[in-house]
Structure 1
């Protein structure tokens, strides 16, 4: 079912000052719609000649996520993250522009933000306009970007199964190092396979230990990463001009810009296992941002 929501044809860049001005409690609870016309006038619209900025494919994807995961909202993350990334094809520099995500959250799909993050009360402002690891859509795009293995989005699904990876691990600078990200996920896979209870607590302990050790150990020296193939990435972006909507039943392909070196991951896993073994695990506490009622491991 497609929801009856009218949105501009193209994405735009919405300044954070406009978000602050029009993000009231009514919008955060879903009782009110943001003033779409006013916000659009405040935005710098993307070039209509570039198909990758069309809102329709994104809107249809979000409608499907809401229909498919009604009653199990946290599970939508693993399904949506790779498909959102493959639909919104762009460079990291373009994705780092918060104004793009502001527009998507306030103009294109405020209902999705409320649906996914309202919890028992309201969706916090940070879910509409916030850091890349907090904002409703930016967190998913970056999860796909940081945890994909070249064109393979399979690791992204694993990362999104554990909400603490999105809420904690993605905050760390060391996760930009692809072998580090893959080594962390290998340990997470083991914990899941062993039916470990409260996996999120282990993830938080591991993330903290890896980040602390990374201040003295240079992971990129221990486990070098192959340089990304920028031409392959640009070719993947250019394909968006004639791209059909991503399929809902199977994972799409990401940019074929180089897989993570297995030997580098193998170098880090034993170290990270030892760090986890020695790391204290504290009782789960509320996240610094709102905790959704179903934001548990799925």
Structure 2
């Protein structure tokens, strides 16, 4: 909280990979809302209020809510869905645009790793080019991708064998002896295999065309919660 007092949204990209690397667990374990409720209500309610305070106190869903809304669950799942094997750098990019967490992460298609990373790659381009209101672009892209097909369609275009589950289990098993995550450099995630760059490149031109054709809904600025984290 001291580190990011000047820009609370920037805390997401810093905390998400470190939370994921600290709480080593399976997706099935992470789906248990009781863990996240415990963290938010008993361990760190001060963080939830600090990060999600607005005109009023943080909404109840930030303490006990869906995986894409609850203060800690959303960060763990962002790291899980947008990491590239042990590389958390795509997670930092994803968290720089709040709409990736608020909208894109709700879609079933992001379970397909090449799709998730293709979205991050386009998000990175939008940020590098300083495109105004990148959140509106991300929302339009996410809606277009979700409407255009299911994960089966994208799997045909960009095959992905999926993560190495044995490596994930080994990573989880090593949690008790693992050192604390570093504060000033990214930790390493489970070495369960990176996504083939060719699979991502197969999807990026298609998604770029979807973005170009998609209608954009321009929103009025709503303050910190929809801000872009310019690291």
Task: Indicate the TM-score class for this superposition, using the shorter chain for normalisation.
Answer: over 0.9
* Inter-partner Cα distance in structure 1 for 2:100 and 2:225: 15
* Inter-partner Cα distance in structure 2 for 1:215 and 1:248: 38
Greater C-alpha radius of gyration: 1
Describe the superposition over 1:22-67 as per-residue Cα deviations: whole angstroms up to 9, x where unpaired: xxxxxxxxxxxxxxxxxxxxxxxxxxxxxxxxxxxxxxxxxxxx11
* Inter-partner Cα distance in structure 1 for 2:104 and 2:2: 29
Other-structure match for 2:228 = 297
TM-score by length of 1: 0.74
Q: Given that residues 13 and 93 in structure 2 are in contact (C-alpha distance below 8 angstroms), is that contact kept between their aligned partners in structure 1?
A: yes
* Inter-partner Cα distance in structure 2 for 1:292 and 1:107: 28
In the alignment, is residue 81 of structure 1 matched against residue 20 of structure 2? no
Query: Post-superposition, which runs of at least 4 consecutive aligned residues in structure 1 deviate over 6 A?
Result: none
3-state SS of 1:100 partner: helix
* Inter-partner Cα distance in structure 2 for 1:79 and 1:273: 28
Describe the superposition over 1:157-211 as per-residue Cα deviations: whole angstroms up to 9, x where unpaired: 0000000100010011101110001111111111111111111110000000001
Q: Which has the higher contact order (CA 8 A, sep 6+)?
A: 2
Root mean square deviation, CA, Å: 1.5
Other-structure match for 1:71 = 6
In the alignment, is residue 260 of structure 1 matched against residue 195 of structure 2? yes
User: Structure 2 vs 1, CA of residues 228 and 125 (structure 1 numbering), >3 Å: closer, same or farther?
Assistant: same
**Structure 2 gap segments, 5+ residues each:** none
Counterpart of 1:236 (choices 163, 171, 182) is: 171
TM-score by length of 2: 0.95
* Inter-partner Cα distance in structure 1 for 2:216 and 2:191: 38
Describe the superposition over 1:205-230 as per-residue Cα deviations: whole angstroms up to 9, x where unpaired: 00000010124971111111123111
